[in-house]
Chain A
Amino acid sequence: DIQMTQSPSSLSASVGDRVTITCRASQSISSYLNWYQQKPGKAPKLLIYAASSLQSGVPSRFSGSGSGTDFTLTISSLQPEDFATYYCQQSYSTRSAFGGGTKVEIK
């Protein structure tokens, strides 16, 4: 099975900061990589699909890049509503998997 590893597991940042989260797959997954945001007590929300496509309604400060095994989620200017946990997910194989998550906290 394909394993997904996210780093860091948590980070502290200030409003306005540029934030980068990485996700690494244990084998090539082409561009079948998705990113989700989850706030406490809420269901996850799709942000980015196919590594770099922005889901409808998601602010343009979110962007994704990468292919093969290494991927990045970037928030260009962190806003108060962006403090949350972010997960990557590979949808390359029939049996999908999520990364362990990255919690973005207020500095």
Chain B
Amino acid sequence: EVQLVQSGAEVKKPGESLKISCKGSGYSFTSYWIGWVRQMPGKGLEWMGIIYPGDSDTRYSPSFQGQVTISADKSISTAYLQWSSLKASDTAMYYCARQPMGGVGATTTPFDYWGQGTLVTVSS
């Protein structure tokens, strides 16, 4: 059974750093992209970026480039989303999702499995 299990909810102060995780199981972790999606309170879905754990090829939305870092450790089938200095505006639910490889380097496929989400709250 394919599963993506995300780390638990976090409460942080502005300026603090944070790394949340997404562990894949039930499939070949290195053969699928993993994407991250933000959902601010009461708002829609925002595509943040994706990583291919097989070779660490990473693509970012211009809106999130430089604001977050996406990484993966294929030895433990886990992807990460990291902030070096959180802001109150980073308060949101963050989802990871699996995306099949559409072809060599291709990202034309949908997100077919999703994690349960990690709620990040940033408040002084």
Binding site for B on A (CB under 8 A): 1, 32, 34, 36, 38, 43-46, 49-50, 55, 85, 87, 89, 91-92, 94-101
Partner of A95 from the list B44, B47, B110 (CB cut-off 8 Å) is B47
- Interchain CA distance A96-B110 in the complex, whole Å: 10
Q: Are A34 and B110 CB-contacts (below 8 A) given A1-B62, A44-B95, A95-B59?
A: yes
- B9 part of interface (Cβ distance < 8 Å): no
Q: Are A44 and B45 CB-contacts (below 8 A) given A55-B112, A94-B59, A95-B61?
A: yes
- Interchain CA distance A91-B47 in the complex, whole Å: 11
Q: Is the CB of A98 within 8 A of B114?
A: no
Q: Is the CB of A100 within 8 A of B107?
A: no
Binding site for A on B (CB under 8 A): 35, 37, 44-47, 50, 59-62, 95, 97, 99, 102, 107-112, 114-117
User: 6 other contacts beyond A1-B62, A91-B99, A94-B59, with CB at 8 A cut-off?
Assistant: A1-B61, A34-B110, A36-B45, A44-B111, A98-B37, A100-B44
Q: Is the CB of B110 within 8 A of A49?
A: yes
Chain A residue nearest to B95 (CB atoms) is A43
Q: Is the CB of B45 within 8 A of A92?
A: no
Residues of A within 8 A of B44 (CB): 85, 87, 98-101
- The total of Cβ contacts below 8 Å across the A-B interface reads 65
Q: How far is the CB of A6 from chain B (nearest CB, A)?
A: 9
Chain A residue nearest to B105 (CB atoms) is A94
**Nearest 3 pairs between A and B by C-beta?**
A34-B110, A43-B114, A49-B110
- Interchain CA distance A6-B17 in the complex, whole Å: 35
Q: How far is the CB of B92 from chain A (nearest CB, A)?
A: 14
Q: Is the CB of B47 within 8 A of A96?
A: yes
- Interchain CA distance A57-B83 in the complex, whole Å: 37
Instruction: Pull 12 A–B residue pairs with CB atoms less than 8 Å apart, ordered by A.
Output: A36-B111, A38-B45, A43-B116, A44-B111, A46-B112, A89-B45, A89-B47, A89-B111, A91-B110, A95-B61, A96-B50, A97-B47
Q: Is the CB of B108 within 8 A of A92?
A: yes
Q: How far is the CB of B114 from chain A (nearest CB, A)?
A: 4
Residues of B within 8 A of A89 (CB): 45, 47, 110-111
